Structure 1
Amino acid sequence: MKYYLGVDAGGSKTYAMIANEQGAVIGTGRGGNGNHQKNREQAESSLQQAVSEALKASGLTKDQLEYSWFGLAGADRETDFQILRPMISRFGHPRTGISCDTWNALRSGTDKSYGVVLICGSGVNCAGKNPQGAEYQCGGFGYRFGDFGGGYDLSVEVFRSVLRADDGRGDKTVLSERLIHLLGYTTVSEMREDYLDHYRELPPRIAELLFQAADEGDQVAAGLLARQGDELGLAAAATIRKLSMEQDSFDIVLAGSLLSKGDRSGIIRRAIEQRVKPLAPNGTLRALTREPVVGSVVLAMESSGMNVYQEVLDRLSQGEEGL
């Protein structure tokens, strides 16, 4: 029997999963921040904790692992990999692979080995792989580098919209009352003055106010969500063109909390479809329903030469309960 380790590491949590070649999960582990860009020592410690827990639960040693795949937030450029390769090599696993965590989400969300993934959580990202194996990442580096959206950007947009509504430059919105309540103020003016006097970060959870407001018909909120969807659709379309996937049949996996959980009324999704469907009519939008760590295990299996069938994916999904 062969055994495979998959790791999915983000900015707030790290998951590790060990499964056999039939897809039966025999060990899981958890850790905290796994993004080296936030804190390198903390990330290594979180990875070590999650992997050690999974190995202990499985009863295996690291030398018994056929292949280990580490899907890591922040693994974007060669400068990142120059940090991450030595970090992962210190774990002493016999055969390992490293990728950005976007690829975990893609492989977890489709039964194909190719497709496009859109991530909208605290930030945004887009990546794709075509049937020939060529890969492309579009964005993922923040507003200054062409991105728009995710919890951080949308929170700023809510804040700006409320201030503009208050001074007459923008339309009135129910977001005004809800924002000052969330942040602990009694008036918009009080909030404005406090933020002018003291530099404060806007919490990404502000973005969550958009969904209920849009569901209630608030046009400001609905407009921001539609813009978010349009921007994600632009990234997906650019990726599809770069990879010449216009005539292919593939899945467009929707991942990240704002897409997979927040977009209940489908405003973001519809805007994505309006950008993507005319370009790639055989592309199918699918919300991610599995944990991305499942995709890491699949990538470990495929990297060792194994063909992963639907029944293996189904068994891996059943093993999520231990996380």
Structure 2
Amino acid sequence: MSFYLCVDCGGSKTSAVVCDASGKILGRALGGPSNFAYMSVASFTDAVRIAVSNAVKTCVSPPSIEPVTLPPSTPLFAAAWFGISGVDSPQAVSNASHALSALLGIPLGPRLLVANDTHLLAAPLRLHADISHAITAIAGTGSCVVSFRQQSSGHLEELARVGGWGWILGDEGGGFDVGRETIRQMMLDVGRDSLGMTPSPPSKLKENVLARFGITGVDHAAEVLPVVHLPEPSLTADTIPHVQSYLLVAREKRLSQLAPLVFEAAFGPDADPFALKVLRHCAGSLADQISLLSRPVGDDPALAPRAVDAKDAVLCFGGSLVGVDKYRDLVLDELRKRGHVFRYVEFVEDAAAVGAAGLASLGEPKDV
């Protein structure tokens, strides 16, 4: 009963990490997608079974080639923590918990923690003994911000949540937002030029965006609008050869896939001021959401009793965009302007590993 298991279940992969009581990683493995909202319970369980079995097999040196049977014949894990994308309601938590309890042979209760994947990002809170609050900010293709309080038992209580509404309604500060804001700022410049104002300075980002969509000449920037709004063609053999590749992806991805161009232009050799302006705007939008869950300095706690005081909390970032140091610095700079300076700031690159260490730090819970 010396193993602790943490599994990060996402829409593209399943990451399983096994550690010992000291938090040392003993084994790990990746599996296929395991978003609970998009799969049957059976398919979800199969994805988890493969990832966990392979992680356990790597716990010996050399790795065992023998298959690991789940549920195990003897107790294998002292505790397990699952962060599952698509688990957004009490009923979903219950359904996933029952499936995982049967799979791992762990009774429902304190040894089996099941929650949304944002909870794993708050794992660093368990590693800071002098604070009890955290805010997690995910910014990858989409975005979501959640606040937590650590209970005396060590378990995390979700306090409040903002964002995670998808590309139509939000995703501020994420990849889609970056692409959308790029086009918006380009079109605002077109509007300014139509007024006879001083022409906008040249921008390498604008050139690259237009070239991506097959548009030649900055004077034709408005031609980007039909490209953005055109529905995807039917993906049939007779249409694929006759359309541009960017039209074969979902419309929202035509924008989110612009994010790498923006980051390269802003933080690369060109240091494009236009690209940096776009990223500052998006960083500010994400900072606004973090600020919504934070208590302004000097505010009466009674006004928002579940708000987090930044100076006594850790801000945990996760996701590909905030994994870029310079973009994360923009977000922190925007937070400072709003009066929020966190005691600790962490970027959680490996949520399953940090989660496993945090779980082991609690010690072995007792079944009830």
Relative to the length of structure 1, the TM-score reads: 0.78
Task: Kindly report which structure 2 residues correspond to 1:38-49, keeping only aligned pairs within 5 A, or say none.
Answer: 38-40=38-40, 43-49=44-50
Whether the 8 Å contact between 1:34 and 1:47 is mirrored in structure 2 is yes
Give the match for residue 53 of structure 1. Answer: 54
Q: Who is 1:89 aligned against?
A: 101
Q: In the alignment, is residue 226 of structure 1 matched against residue 280 of structure 2? A: yes
For residues 170-221 of structure 1, what are the alpha-carbon distances to aligned partners after superposition, in whole Å with 9 as ceiling and x for unaligned?
9564332212334555465665444454434243231122223334454443
Judged with a 3 Å threshold, the aligned counterparts in structure 2 of structure 1 residues 193 and 273 are, in CA distance, closer, same or farther, namely same
1:32-181 equivalence runs, <5 A: 32-40=32-40, 43-58=44-59, 62=72, 63-94=75-106, 95-108=111-124, 111-112=127-128, 114-130=133-149, 134-139=157-162, 140-142=164-166, 147-166=171-190, 168=193, 173-181=203-211
Aligned residue in 2 for 1:317 = none
AA aligned opposite 1:260: G
What SS class does the counterpart of residue 12 from structure 2 fall into? coil
Quickly say closer, same or farther: Cα 1:237–1:193, change in 2 above 3 A.
closer
Q: Output the CA distance in 1 between the equivalents of 2:286 and 2:114.
A: 25
Mark the CA change 1:31 to 1:208 in structure 2 (over 3 Å): closer, same or farther: same
Q: Where do 1:286-305 residues align within 5 Å?
A: 286-288=345-347, 290-301=349-360, 305=364
Which structure has the greater CA radius of gyration? Answer: 2
Q: Which residue of 2 aligns with 1:201?
A: 251
SS of the aligned residue for 1:98 comes to: strand
Deviations 1:70-125, CA, capped at 9 Å, x for gaps? 11122222353254234423423314211121121221477226422211111111
3-state DSSP class of the match of 1:58?
coil
1:50 positional shift? 0.9
Higher relative contact order (CA 8 A, sep 6+): 1
Higher helix share: 1
- Structure 1 distance, partners of 2:222, 2:310, is 53
Change (3 A) 1:231 1:110: farther
Q: How much has 1:15 moved relative to structure 2?
A: 0.8
Structure 2 distance, partners of 1:160, 1:219, is 15
Identity level (%): 22
Are 2:86 and 2:116, in contact at CA under 8 Å, matched by a contact in 1?
yes
Question: Which sections of structure 2, spanning at least 5 residues, go unmatched?
Answer: 61-67, 233-249, 296-303
The Cα of 1:3 is off from its aligned counterpart by 1.1
1:8 aligns with 2:8: yes
Counterpart CA distance in 2 for 1:268 and 1:208 is 18
Q: Do the aligned partners of residues 264 and 150 (structure 1) sit closer, same or farther apart at CA in structure 2, a change above 3 Å counting?
A: closer
Q: Partners in 2 of 1:26 and 1:64 — Cα distance?
A: 13
When residues 91 and 181 of structure 1 are mapped into structure 2, their CA distance, relative to the original with a 3 A threshold, is farther
Is the CA contact 2:145–2:161 (under 8 Å) kept in the aligned structure 1?
Answer: yes
- 2:22 maps to 22
Alignment check: 8 A CA contact 2:323 2:349 kept? no
Deviation of 1:163 after TM superposition, in Å, equals 4.5
How many pairs align?
302
Coordinate RMSD, CA, aligned: 3.3
Structure 2-normalised TM-score?
Answer: 0.70
